[in-house]
Amino acid sequence: MIASFVYLASASPRRKDLLKQMGVTTRPLLADKRENVEQLEEVRRGELPRDYVLRVAKLKLDAARRRLQARGLPPAPILVADTTVALGRRILGKPDGPDEARAMLGALSGRSHRVLTAVAVSAGVQSFVELSVTRVEFVPLSASMIDAYIDGGECFGKAGAYGIQGRAGTWARRVVGSHTGVMGLPVFETATLLRRAGLRI
């Protein structure tokens, strides 16, 4: 049986828009206030970026499957994703405030870093996972550039304190890999997973 839609267990408008551009119909499957989603994203001591992002994506998928069952919703594939920015072994998640965002962007200034996005899809009892790794090189950033970006508010709620689809895209001197992966949903890997889950792409 070919599914006609996918449950999206993410509040990210970017992921929803990218799926729409792929021709995929989505229905939200979001956590309620009783679920501590932020706890799933806590980094374990000594954890490598690759291991971290894959583990979190799988945890998010498990939580979404329980949510689907508890709400008695009709069966369909479920999609989750998790993105992190890595500077060497260091994991740069979502900044807690302006000071942390400033420190993250200062660390990325004039350097190359990796953006890792893990996508996980479930279909019945089966689960499929893909990892996208993209290397991004930033131009040197002045303190005034960083401050203006933080003042604009784009840095919050994003791994590494930036979104490449916004003003920070002008800082990316080189992107090697998946541009949409840096945005939070690598479309090639996502399409591959959804086909395996029985969705017509």
Q: Are 115 and 160 contacting, i.e. CB atoms less than 8 angstroms apart?
A: yes
Pairing of strands 6-8, 78-87: parallel
Marked catalytic residue, from 32, 62, 82, 99 = 82
The residue behind tokens 């479309």 is: 187
What's the Cα-to-Cα distance from 10 to each of 7, 31, 34, 152, 158, rounded to whole Å? 9, 9, 16, 23, 13
Q: Are 66 and 37 contacting, i.e. CB atoms less than 8 angstroms apart?
A: no
Q: Is 96 a catalytic residue?
A: no
Kindly report the backbone phi and psi dihedral angles of residue 71, in degrees, each rounded to the nearest multiple of 5, phi listed first: -90, -5
Tokens describing residue 36: 């501590």
Looking at residue 42, the DSSP 8-state letter turns out to be P
Tokens describing residue 109: 């200034």
Show which residues are catalytic. 82
